[in-house]
Amino acid sequence: MPKPFNKLTAIAAPIMRSNIDTDVVIRIERLVGNSVRGTLGKWAFGSLRYLPDGSENPEFILNREPYRQAEILVTGPNFGCGSSREGAVWSLQELGIRAIIGSGFGDIFFANCFQNGILPIVVDKDIVDGLAAEVEHTQGAGRIGIDLEAQTITSPSGKQVRFEIDPRRRAGLLEGLDEILMTLRRDDEIRAFQAADRAERPWIHFAGKQA
Amino acid sequence: MLLEKRGRTLLAKIWDQHVIAHISDDTDLLHVDRHLLHDLGGSRGLIDLKGRNLPVHNPELTFATPDHAISTAHGRVGTIKIGQELLAALRVETTASGIQMFDIDEPGQGIVHVIGPELGLSLPGCLIVCGDSHTCTHGGLGALAFGIGSSELTHVLATQALIQRRPKTMCVKFEGKLSSGVTAKDLILALIGHVGAAGGTGYAVEYAGSAIRDMPIEGRLTICNLSIELGAKMGLIAPDEKTYDYIRGRRYAPRGEMWRQAVEAWRQLPSEADAVFDREVVIDVEAITPQVTWGTSPEHVVGVDGRIPDPQAIADPARRAAIETALDYMGLKPGAPIAGTPIDWVFIGSCTNSRLSDLRAAAEIARGRKVAPGVRAWVVPGSETVKREAVAEGLDKLFIDAGFEWREPGCSMCLAANGETVAPGQRSVSTSNRNFIGRQGPRARTHLASPAMAVAAAIAGAIADVRTMER
Ligand code: SF4
């Protein structure tokens, strides 16, 4: 069940390369197994964060101060494209990331963020670029403010922009709702649908059986 | 006010049929007809559910198979310890929940997106989900199929339903006849090069046009498989007589009176002629040559007779930097021809290109030739059934005689989750769907291409134009 999200003012790290895929966010071998949760923060962006000999790559932004403390990522186009692995979101969460601002995200990654209490914000590319430029101008010291209730982002210099978000997803984050329990409250509707559908499309419900 | 009555799309028809409840303006609770589980995430979901004291809502609509983490060596020798544990857990948890599992060495086992269509589980008009982004593959049969994350997977196990926002619609028309050496894989790679890896984000893409109508079902599955590589979670193709011929008689397909009812319903599904899409793209197929990727995103693609891009010629600084980073990772010289680039590995397999027709196309080029010295080349059939059919035709022997290794079915080197990797710095031509950084192993360099192009590379020891090897 996700932790509620409301307001956040935090260090932000711009990672502006386009098409950063979920394989780059977390390598598959870190995700194989049923008890990987809690071990992943160290491996987020592993191929960028570490050199082949295993030491930290000093050039990578999250290895530099103050970006090590980042709780917000400002990202290039199509961040989180590729696989459905929710481990990508888990690894960012374990790294301490709570919000991601970009001009567009991979569809499945975007949905996975909400399931884990991470807020992905879509705004125009100029706004993203402007935020990244301001952060870099302050060498990372300038914080970005996010107010989910008011749907605003405040840049390090105090410029405020509004962002759009699906009201249902917003409510889910603000309250930290459990989607499974919410859906199970509609179980009568699910069962009624299935009863009617069994008559209409029996081939779906009786797979491999003779009518 | 009178609403203008527009023809409905394939997507809208399938979507509307699955709405259990409207959640908000554009978001619905949808019924899931088929839930497919695999070894990487299947047991985890079932264990999560148990932890919540909830039963599986509809085990009879849920099917499982191991594919990602098992070894593809003979006898499954060398399956990594965690892979063995995941396989054991999948067996235990599916048995406990009454879910059908297709186990190793049984007909039915294989890459989850190969077995769904093969078993007749994936049907037109069906809503299919799986905790894997290439679930879009099943759209080739006219299904609405898409990948979900772990939390959604548990939600589907618990409720047999999923909350989804209705996507925008895009229609891609492939018009014309394929030139020699050009396959479904080349068409979809060319499209991704054209619209970009984010070109389909937020859309469900319907593929249409004469080239799709002419295309056999297995090619349509290949096209839909790469939908996610253009950003689209869902890709689909209207069912037609070819679709029904493909499905008829399969193990889980409807029979008798139910079959007649089903086909009648499926005939109502195609988009109407006056249906309107949010975006339309037309691709002239005749201009497409065999494709090969040069970079670290499927959008980094050229015709095999083309050149590696030169970042100096790119004005936009962000794009220039992206190309420089990709070329650096791939170890390629800007501006050089892509053909002739020496390679170390060839991988023929994955849910993109591991069906019988893919293996036949590969065998056609391999027959009577030899893999170049120094190149390792694997053929990994997509399923136990594909393997048996290929063996019955003698394809295994043909590949082995040509110097390929013939393996057991699974995902293998597509994702390298089972430890089968391309060594750091080595270069592979692969029939899979992702050339991402480190996809086939840390610092491995992947070039995506069709099965025939992959064989051409294996024979030449370098990226090569298959058209020079056609018979
Ligand atoms: S073959 Fe590759 S892309 Fe397909 S399901 Fe397996 S790992 Fe994923």
ipTM of the complex: 0.94
CB contact under 8 A, B151 and A208: no
**pLDDT value of residue B221:** 98
Q: What are the residue ranges in chain B where pLDDT is below 70?
A: 1-5
pLDDT digits (tens, 9 = 90+) for A158-176: 999 999 999 999 999 999 8
Contacts of B5 (CB under 8 A, 6+ apart): none
The token pair at B13 is 């028809």
pLDDT for residue B172? 98
Lowest mean pLDDT among A131-140, A201-210, B455-464: A201-210
pLDDT of B5 reads 67
| Greatest Cα-to-Cα distance within chain A, rounded to the nearest angstrom | 70
Is the omega angle on the peptide bond into residue A66 within 30 degrees of 0, that is, cis?
Answer: yes
| Residue A78 near residue A105 (C-beta atoms within 8 A) | yes
Contact A60, A45 (CB under 8 A): yes
In the prediction, which pLDDT does B317 show?
83
Whether residue B228 has its Cβ less than 6 Å from ligand 1:
no
What's the pLDDT score for residue A203? 97
Please give the angle made by the CA atoms of B222, B451 and B219, to the nearest 5 degrees.
25
**B441 phi/psi in degrees, rounded to 5:** 135, 155
**Tokens representing B360?**
């036949």
Predicted pLDDT of residue B198:
95
Q: Compute, in angstroms, the gap from residue B134 CA to the centroid of ligand 1.
A: 7
Neighbours of A160 (CB within 10 A): 11
Please determine, for residue A179, whether its predicted confidence score (pLDDT) is greater than 70.
yes
Contact present, B289 and B305 (Cβ < 8 Å): yes
pTM over 0.80: yes
pLDDT at residue number B6: 80
Q: Between the CA of residue B346 and those of B155, B407, B444, what are the distances in Å?
A: 39, 13, 12
Q: Is the CB of B134 under 6 A from ligand 1?
A: yes
Closest CA to A182 of A83, A115, A123: A115
Contact criterion met (CB < 8 Å) for A111 and B152? yes
pLDDT recorded at residue A1: 62
Could you read off the pLDDT of A20-62 as tens digits, one per residue? 999 999 999 999 998 899 999 999 999 999 999 999 999 999 9
pLDDT of residue A211: 45
> Could you tell me the distance, in angstroms and rounded to a whole number, from the CA of residue B117 to the centre of ligand 1?
15
| Ordered DSSP codes for B369-399 | --PPTT-EEEE--SBHHHHHHHHHTTHHHHH
Tokens found for residue B34: 């088929």
Distance from CA of B85 to the nearest CA of A (A): 8
* B225-239 pLDDT tens trace: 999 999 999 999 999
R_g (Cα) of chain A, nearest Å: 20
Cα–Cα dist B436/B46, whole Å = 30
Contact B231 A106 (CB under 8 A): yes
Predicted confidence at residue A210, as pLDDT, reads: 52
Beta-strand (E) ranges in chain A?
7-10, 12-15, 72-75, 99-102, 119-122, 144-147, 152-154, 160-162
